[in-house]
Chains A and B, each alone.
Chain A
Amino acid sequence: MNFALNRRLFLQASTVAGGGFMLGFALPGNEAEAAAAPEVNAWIVIQPDDTVIVRVAHSEMGQGAFTALPMMVAEELNADWAKVKPEFINPTEHVQRNRVWGGTATVGSRAVRTSHEYLRKAGASAREMLIAAAAQQWKVPASEVRAEKSVLTHTPTGRTLSYGKVASAASRMPAPKDVALKPHTEWTILGTPKSRVEIPDKVMGKPVFAIDVRLPDMLFAAIEHSPAFGGKLKSFDEKAVAKMPGVRAVVALADSAVAVVADSYFEASRA
């Protein structure tokens, strides 16, 4: 298996292309740097400063996926929730990596109920890999190492290492074949109220939506579709609007819609 090698090559390639995106939102000009640290597994990247990046494969539209899904990973990872940052997956990478992040369609109230098992297992598996890496570094049995709140502790001696210090070594550890998941009575993150991570940006009116994208030389288009379902475009009189301020073009889209392209949406929509 050379998956690990391929994965690293891929990450290098996707880092160049701007592979991953942090919350804070990736409109042009404020793209966060793609994570430089290696993946512990596909869901988790732990940076040297202990930031735990958790990949999110479902859309955020106010239903809380960006918080709830990382909570499930962080619970089993025994991560310090304050250091967890969600990051939206790159769908191109998702397809190229054989849909490594599972289902992405955010429909049918399904984000949590279809992914809870593999997300929690990803967290538990990474936790075991972190423990194994710390045990190797200390040359002690893994059973003497515990993981709590993003810190690994060698129980007999009290020595500690933060997750960020061993994440790179952990990424080279074999993933455990099977991991046990905690019973709900042992949860410390799941089931507790966590503030939704994107709310501070939203109350500032930050450009987190597609409609807020502004690019150099960008034009705007207004669309009119056939007023009846199944209707077809017969003709339009481009000359009637061609001289209106800001109007750049009138374009037929297939045979059922017309677009007016202009310098601003107002100029496109009134033409």
Chain B
Amino acid sequence: MLPIEWDRGPNGHVNHADVLAFVKSGLTATDPLEGASEGDVVAAIAKGAKVIEAEYHAPFLSHAPMEPQNATARVSADLVEIWAPTQNIEATLNLAAKAAGVDIGKVKVHPVMAGGGFGRRGGQLEYVPQAVELSMRMGKPVQVIWSREEDIRHDYYRPISSAKFKAAFDAQNNPIAWDTRIAGQSIMSTVNPEALKKGTDLGFLVCFTDNPYDVPNRRVDFGMRNTHVPVGYWRSVNHSQNGYFRECFVDEMAEAAGMDPYQFRRKLLANSPKQLACMDAAAKAAGWGRSLPQGVFQGIAQVDGYGSYVASVVEASVRPDGHPKVHRVVAAIDCGHVVNPDTVKAQTEGAVAWALSAALYGEITIKNGGVEQGNYHDYPMVKMAEMPVVEVVLVPSYDFWGGVGEPGAPPVTPALLNAMYKATGRRIRNLPIVKDSQPRSAD
């Protein structure tokens, strides 16, 4: 092996505990960035007959698409040719032209399909200039391939983030206030630092700035904590974090109010007809409340995002060692107009696997300034044996055009955690599940 000496740089001493402490300090920061506010949340909480609080956490995650990062360049005197998986052909073009020092008129980007992308290949395509530079150096075509370890260790990760909630109820158990603090790393800190100079990154607060649940006094703000770890977009990125935080806490609110979690949501979504219709469709298709085999429980969640509405019911049991078995996922999606129905179903099915891999196993941790994980053995994925039956119900409302690649993912994790709570009586508020689950005492 080539002996290489590295200067690990200014963050070479940073470990995961440091990152966590820094991010979580955003939960108690006294100078948060403003998000959205309605009513007077502080006064309402002070008046509450009952107040509940909870803290949640979501880790950094890698994309790890099956086709590793790679690029092939053939540079001749009058033409730069490039082949590379990309979600952004103009970025490929511009990076290749810049690396070769030529006008884009001398660059030919060959069309290829990408073996997955999931947000990894949207613009940070370092492998493109690497291939161009090496082809120029060698005077021959060069194919650059990042090993899986280089891929996982040099990704642009889903940001790390935490949430802290407070909700207050009146004497009749009606929710009267909901306060949310999000702490974590803005994607803009990596992909567009200039944008941050204008203030906050409201994209980090989705699911809360557009929270459909009717609670009279609400507030969300942001303890931004940008670490040295590069972050980026990731299939259903901020919705995957905030959807999980919100929908798990809504279940906690339902319990505090003494209501069934589906009926509690219905009550608070009375003025959000699309969310309501979608959730009703999922509940109906799943048979919410039906009699299930012993040990199997249902959880529900609904999240709108990417222009579409999705509600999921998860049926799961929990093994004695605390690990869940997901039996069935029923997802209802309203993407407005349906272009190709089978594609909508396929994407929604795939989103279930995407979400489950993250929920069960996904975590990137930092040691000495770099990533500890390196391949699928220490950054594992759900495989066939853990994949539930997935039923997708299309409930198009034909008055808008929504996305379908991502919105299927966010409701899966909270619906699973809500089902697990029914099985164990213990809330999981840290992901991945393998880290936070506990062996069950004998039933």
Contacts and interface: CB of A to CB of B under 8 A. Distances in A.
Interface of A: 17-18, 21, 25-27, 59-64, 67-68, 71-72, 88-92, 94-96, 104-113, 116, 184, 190-194, 196, 198, 208-211, 213, 215-238, 240-241, 248-251, 253, 257-261, 265, 269-271
B122 A92 contact: no
B331 to A, nearest CB: 15
B401 interface: yes
A221 B144 contact: yes
B130 A221 contact: yes
A112 B339 contact: yes
Given A105-B88, A106-B117, A223-B144, A92 B108 contact: yes
22 contacts: A61-B85, A61-B116, A63-B404, A63-B405, A67-B340, A68-B340, A105-B122, A106-B117, A108-B403, A191-B337, A196-B340, A208-B112, A211-B67, A211-B85, A211-B143, A216-B141, A223-B145, A226-B6, A228-B368, A231-B9, A231-B12, A258-B4
Interface in B372-402: 398, 401-402
A156 B92 CA distance: 53
Contact of A229 (B9, B92, B141): B9
B74 A222 contact: no
B12 A67 contact: no
Nearest to A117: B401
B83 A219 contact: no
Contacts of A92: 93, 104-105, 107-109
B111 A21 contact: yes
Contact of B72 (A21, A210, A233, A248): A210
A105 B113 contact: no
Contacts of A105: 87-88, 90-91, 122-123
Interface residues of B, number: 91
Nearest to B88: A105
Interface string B394-423: 000010011111110000000000000000
Contact of B343 (A63, A90, A223): A63
Among A25, A223, A232, A250, find the residue whose CB has the most chain B CB atoms closer than 10 A: A223
A150 B91 CA distance: 36
B158 interface: no
Contacts of B337: 116, 184, 190-191
A91 B93 contact: yes
B143 A232 contact: no
Among B340, B342, B368, B369, find the residue whose CB has the most chain A CB atoms closer than 10 A: B340
Given A230-B11, A231-B369, A224 B4 contact: yes
A191 B341 contact: yes
B153 interface: yes
Interface of B: 1-12, 67-68, 70-72, 74, 83-93, 104-105, 107-117, 119, 122-123, 127, 130-131, 133-134, 137-138, 140-147, 150, 153-154, 228-230, 233, 306-308, 337-343, 346-347, 350, 368-370, 398, 401-407
Contact of B228 (A61, A72, A229): A229
B403 A107 contact: no
A92 B107 CA distance: 7
A215 B137 contact: no
B130 A193 contact: no
Contacts of B137: 249, 251, 261
Contacts of B407: 109
Given A208-B113, A209-B67, A240-B3, 8 more contacts: A92-B107, A107-B87, A191-B339, A211-B70, A213-B83, A213-B112, A223-B144, A259-B134
A67 B131 CA distance: 31
A198 to B, nearest CB: 7
A233 B6 contact: yes
A198 B109 CA distance: 20
Contacts of B83: 27, 210, 213
A64 B11 CA distance: 41
Contact of A223 (B67, B150, B338): B150
